[in-house]
Structure 1
């Protein structure tokens, strides 16, 4: 029985020392390779986020074993470690970029005493786009949108779109809420900016009942074995908090 689309959320991919904290922002490259090999071997349908949007809008039937691969922040180690594996299997991927920090260190890590891995440069992003990688917005400064005043939310969302469209020379219809932080003001700002699709950190499969601007995802982190990832994918989770719905999308009672 089809329970929807498992949108998987990754951050960094690479070789990392054992850790106890902040594990959700790391994935070991050997485990990532095993996860992708499993998807390929057992016939999972890896969708682009454009295809996910079409499914959620009812324009395309949700395939069996549907999966989408998303990567937050735009680390250089995506290019080094994840992209060659994705190319091997010809899997589409969505990388969400922090428009104001392109080519800079991930400076917010310093607050936790962690190293600040580099984010991809504009040249690298353009190269990956030519090679078929998809890109979306992740705000200008990687702030928790629900904690900002409304004017700041609008700037973070709309300026991000304008900056990335200037960089890529094409429309950027996809967005991801930094830290998963969003409220109705953030969702409305995303709609007003002209994004067609946005992802959260709410844990569930995406279905046609979801607002395209608050799609759920399932995080893959440092400690997840292949069995653990498969367990997450086959659980029909429900979010810990109800999704925020725009009035225009509210389902009838």
Structure 2
């Protein structure tokens, strides 16, 4: 029997950008984004809320055909201008991962260039606006640190304080996380669970399946260079896991086996 798969798409900025060769996964042209969403609407794809997707991965509900989740890292202000109107037009849910300590500021964790000045991040008011529009807000940490390189107590502060701050902003529970830079460790997975998160997105490449731990979810990066053919290929064909994801799945299976043995 063919295994059901879920494509979790990873976006960052949506807008109009000068041509580039580096860091292409951090950008998506606004026109291409509109065409991509129209492709989903006309192509029989099922765009799921992340809670719905988790229920499917856990076997609590059937995974629909051509299932996917839309995620947007960093909570850039251009999401509000270029992505939200398109998502609302099609009735698509999405998750935006916000950095609680950087709300309303300009991005500082990458080198600026004359062609691409430091982009603005959404403020608390902007997050409330997209939350009211049906967009789910998740945590991207407190300071966009490489969490896997931090001491455990700093990890707890990054995840716990960020979750608490975003919940105060929204007046709603925040249970979804995305590891900044894709940096995480086996121990950080435990910290994420301890601080109340139900899912965590990674930068591991591949389709998500029932074999994946909900706090180690793989994604498919949508980048500046993806035309509609490449976009469709990623959704319909490119499901195979990259070697790093294969290794993480092996580790998580071993962890469960060890826990079962001790139990």
TM-score tier (shorter): over 0.9
1:245 CA drift (Å)? 2.6
Q: Does the CA contact (< 8 Å) of 1:2 and 1:64 recur in 2?
A: no
Aligned with 2:93: secondary structure? coil
Gaps of 5+ in 1: none
* 1:240 counterpart = 2:243: yes
Partner residue, 2:84: 83
Partner residue, 1:53: 54
- Structure 1: which 4+ aligned runs deviate by more than 6 Å? none
Partner residue, 1:105: 106
Partner residue, 1:179: 181
1:196-228 Cα deviation digits (max 9, x unpaired):
111111111111111111011000011111111
Aligned with 1:200: secondary structure? strand
TM-score in terms of structure 1 length: 0.95
Q: How many residues align?
A: 253
Query: Cα distance 1:152–1:33, how it changes in 2: closer, same or farther (>3 A)?
Result: same
CA distance in 2, matches of 1:162, 1:249: 30
CA distance in 2, matches of 1:246, 1:160: 29
Partner residue, 1:163: 165
Bigger Cα displacement from structure 2, 78-87 vs 113-122:
113-122
Q: Does the CA contact (< 8 Å) of 2:3 and 2:209 recur in 1?
A: no
Partner residue, 1:5: 6
CA distance in 2, matches of 1:250, 1:138: 30
1:106-138 Cα deviation digits (max 9, x unpaired):
111236775210000111111111111111001
Q: Does the CA contact (< 8 Å) of 1:8 and 1:67 recur in 2?
A: yes
Partner residue, 1:131: 133
Q: 1:153 aligns with which of 144, 150, 155?
A: 155
1:3 CA drift (Å)? 3.9
TM-score in terms of structure 2 length: 0.91
Query: Cα distance 1:193–1:248, how it changes in 2: closer, same or farther (>3 A)?
Result: farther
Gaps of 5+ in 2: none
Partner residue, 1:198: 200
